[in-house]
Chains A and B, each alone.
Chain A
Amino acid sequence: MALNTIWVLAEASDGTVTNPTLELLTKARELAGTVEAVYAGSDADAIAGTLGEYGATKVLTTGDLGGALPGVPVANAIAALIEGGSAPDVILATTGTLGRDVTGRLSAKLDRTVLTNNVDLEVDGDKLVTTEPVFGGATNVKTTFTAGGPHIVLVRPKSFVAESAGGGAAAVEAIAVPDPGKSGGATITERHVEEREGPSLDDAAIVVSGGRGLGESEKFAMVEELAKLLKGAPGASRAIVDAGWVPYSYQVGQTGKVVKPTVYIAAGISGATQHMVGMKGSKNIIAINKDAEAPIFSISDLGIVGDVHKVLPALIEALKSR
């Protein structure tokens, strides 16, 4: 094995380790002899069992950050460990708000490159090679690091399948958070959680997404109703998230969620490359678009060239009467 140690930036919400974290731990186990998790939060003890089960031997935790935005304190804590002599070969994090913030800061602090948006990792001889899809997933670019480590890599969710290693709980070890100095002070004063019902976009077997082709915000109700009838989750293109029709948590694509359901239904979505990278891995894709030339049809298994305002109501009625 070419790599000794990988650190995985672990994330959890409501005391549950996120799936992308488990995916990274699974991959890290395959690439390195030792896998350790780095975690910012007050509940490391509660998640040490799961982290251990998926391969982490230790959880290095900053503890509660007292409302500070995590980018600066977590990067500083990791940098201090590395400067103290315990550098891993590779640091893995999930492409997302936390991953980007922490790795961007760390990159500047350590003067090390970050390779972003990857969907695969392999060790080739003594090199770590990462794979990033470009042009909406039509082309894969493989990249390696040319300078010394630690090598910092951001990986997209759902790139690997999480598998338990059956390990015991990870040992919890507190790590110091250095004084942030001039760069400190960004503080969360209040959190707003937008409640969603039904299955989550991450896990749903069926995802129904709507785009600008719906015409107006009220028409998203059709997408929600169809998703509900199919016991699936509603999703959206960025166009209608930016327009304020639906919250960001609905967004599928490069800057949103990566989904790989059994069925993905795209209604009034053109199929921009940034949308496609988030849903191209779906097993079956059904597209409804009034423009026969829309790029979404180039990757759909079933394409209906038609008006969403006709096709969706008819589909909803047909499913209701079954």
Chain B
Amino acid sequence: MNVVVCVKQIPDPADPGALDPTTKTLKRDGKLILDESDSYGVEMALQLVTTAGGGEVTLVSMAPNGEVSGLRTALAMGAAKAILVSDDALAGSDALGTAKVLAKAIERVEGADLVLTATESSDGYTGTVPEQIAGLLDLPSVTFAKHIEVDGSKVKVQRQTEAGYDDVECPLPAVVSVTAGVVEPRYPSFKGIMAAKSKPVDTLTVADLGLEASQVGWAGAGQEIVAIEAAPARESGEVVEDDGTGFEKIVAYLDNLKVL
């Protein structure tokens, strides 16, 4: 069982940065880390490979600035190798441009049975990249997986829905996007961190993938930001320390609104 996991490397969410006023995109010049949302896919992939009793996990990532530290984290968890697509031409890519790059990179992984992504990235959260990848690769797909099992040549998924969940079966190879509830990601061990340093990371350019620079980045993006505006701020009201009578404040507030 060979699993490809798409992992995005993002600015630390604890320090989300800002929008660059000239390029009108998120500034991504600092260090990038593994998107926590993708750690679930990495863990799921590792467990599926273990259960299958053979195979390996390959990571695929696109990052404009050659960043590998997020990949190293996922390699330290146990992935075997990684493909990083990095190129100046990638800056400004929209979701479809990103999917084109990732799909081409995934095609280079031989014998992939399953491609995993997160349902949405923490910094971009378009949530469309998984289906776009599947569409470009002409593969079936299941999104919002909260449980995954592989059964011979098909994958069985519990797919989160607005009302509960659906049991879904899908032939392999397939693209599956996972929620944060799917598994509990492991922390990389010291041994894993050491081993990750020498695991192969294949760094490719847009041209290596056979894509034109005009298909990706600013050039390929079918969208343009026209304005960035501060939203009307919501004022904070009274904040009181509970001295045992805090509940009375709430009752009085609700009373005043005549909702009791």
Contacts and interface: CB of A to CB of B under 8 A. Distances in A.
A306 B96 contact: no
Contact of B143 (A100, A147, A192, A263): A100
B166 interface: yes
Given A186-B174, A230-B259, A319 B95 contact: no
A301 B126 CA distance: 31
B247 A318 contact: yes
B242 A238 contact: no
Contacts of A104: 127-132, 134-135
A263 B254 contact: yes
A304 B237 CA distance: 11
Interface of B: 16, 19, 24, 94-96, 99, 119-120, 125-136, 138-144, 146, 159-171, 174, 179-181, 221-231, 233-234, 236-242, 244, 246-251, 253-254, 257, 259-260
Nearest to A187: B169
22 contacts: A69-B141, A69-B170, A97-B159, A116-B127, A133-B231, A137-B231, A139-B19, A141-B228, A147-B222, A182-B138, A185-B171, A190-B166, A191-B167, A192-B167, A248-B161, A255-B119, A263-B257, A303-B239, A303-B240, A304-B246, A305-B239, A311-B242
Interface string A95-121: 111001101110111011111110000
Given A143-B224, A247-B164, A107 B241 contact: no
A183 B139 contact: yes
A298 B236 contact: yes
A72 interface: yes
Nearest to B163: A193
B242 A306 contact: yes
Given A187-B170, A286-B250, A310-B244, A142 B222 contact: no
Nearest to B94: A113
Interface string A279-322: 01000111010001000011111111111001100110011001
A244 B236 contact: no
Contacts of B134: 104-105, 108, 183
A75 interface: yes
Contacts of A188: 159, 166-168
Is the contact region of chain A dominated by helix, strand, or loop, or is it mixed? mixed
Interface of A: 13, 69, 71-72, 75, 95-97, 100-101, 103-105, 107-109, 111-117, 129, 133-135, 137-147, 154, 180-194, 205-206, 230, 238, 241-244, 247-249, 254-255, 262-263, 265, 273, 280, 284-286, 288, 292, 297-307, 310-311, 314-315, 318-319, 322
Contacts of B146: 248
Contacts of A255: 119-120, 125
Contacts of B144: 97
A230 B99 CA distance: 46
Contacts of A310: 242, 244
Contacts of A72: 140-141
Contacts of B242: 304-307, 310-311
